[in-house]
Amino acid sequence: MLYILSGQDDYSLSQSLDEIKKDIGDQTALAVGATLLEGQQVTIEQLRPFCETVPFLSEKRLVIIKGLLERFEPKRKTGRQKKTVRPRKNQADNYQALGDYVTRIPDSTIVVLVEGKIADSNPLLRLLAGKAEVRKFPLLKDAPLRQWVQERIKEENSSISPQAVSLLVQLVGSNLWIMSSEIEKLVLFAAGRRIEESDVEALVGYAQQTSVFALIDAIVESRGKVAEQLLQRLLQEGAAPAYLLVMLARQVQMIVRARELNKEKTPRAEIQRALGLNSEYAVRRTIEQASRYSMARLKVVYRQLLAADLSIKTGKYDSELALDLLVAELCRPAGVSVT
């Protein structure tokens, strides 16, 4: 039997792999007969002793190969005209031979190919697709992610309000490892009652908010490369561009307000109340940023944030492009324009 598990949602992929292992039989015996191989360099000669040896103490052998399909993933040229780079002839022969071998392994061996994000044009995937059980695990976003959260909480014999679900998704994003951990904490905290928005505000680790603080730092300090990396990481983790714009604008507003309160020598506890922040970390970082950045620079950043928001609402740019252009514009050297 051949399985192909691929996608960026490694939480769901890992659960699927565990299900395959459970279906095989006795887990203690399976552990003796299981093999993990790195697919980037593996050869047919290296596969043979693991795939063709009779299982010991169990009915099936399990061979997990990580990154075999990625090895033959089509590479693309950078630049305006992107063209797929065809594999060299010996590479093509290699994937053909590997594909033919993997589909001819004995019935006593189960092979699982574990991959990241794979293009539909991947030559080895196209060769194996009709001969394997293919399971894809893309990052969950929007409605599917909210549904996953609700189902996960239901499995814990708990419930959650729609507002709490929306906030939880906004704060955590698509990383289901973190989401699962936060859900466990919320269920314990609620102790049998419905989880509300206030519970999420009080308890959930501000994973994205921490990155937003770092993104503001990079933008205000014109560190373009760092800002772009942070932005892309937040987007890849499932943060909605419109939500990030709101978070960035809100944080600049709070920095300005904290500057004013600091000038008036307002006690820290009163600053926290005035800003409406529950997190000690958020208060500390906001006050810290207020002491480091000039009002002139903060005004420039805030005006650009409002302009980016307007460009999205009027349909001039889509939200992700507007964010990219915003970061590039704010971080560009003086005298250089971003088109």
pLDDT digits (tens, 9 = 90+) for 227-242: 888 888 777 766 778 7
Q: Which of these, 90, 93, 85, 113, lies nearest to 6 by C-alpha position?
A: 113
pLDDT at 152: 95
pLDDT digits (tens, 9 = 90+) for 16-71: 999 988 888 766 656 666 789 999 889 999 999 888 877 766 678 889 999 999 99
- Report whether CATH 1.10.8.60 matches the domain 142-203: yes
For the chain, give every domain's residue range. 2-136, 142-203, 208-331
pLDDT at 327: 86
For the domain made up of 208-331, the CATH class stated in words is mainly alpha
Q: How confident is the model at residue 144 (pLDDT cuts 50, 70, 90)?
A: very high
Q: Which of these, 175, 150, 174, lies nearest to 160 by C-alpha position?
A: 150
What SS3 class is residue 35? strand
What pTM was computed for the model? 0.59
pLDDT at 81: 43
pLDDT at 114: 95
User: Which two tokens mark 83?
Assistant: 């063209």
What SS3 class is residue 4? strand
According to CATH, what is the number of the domain 2-136? 3.40.50.300
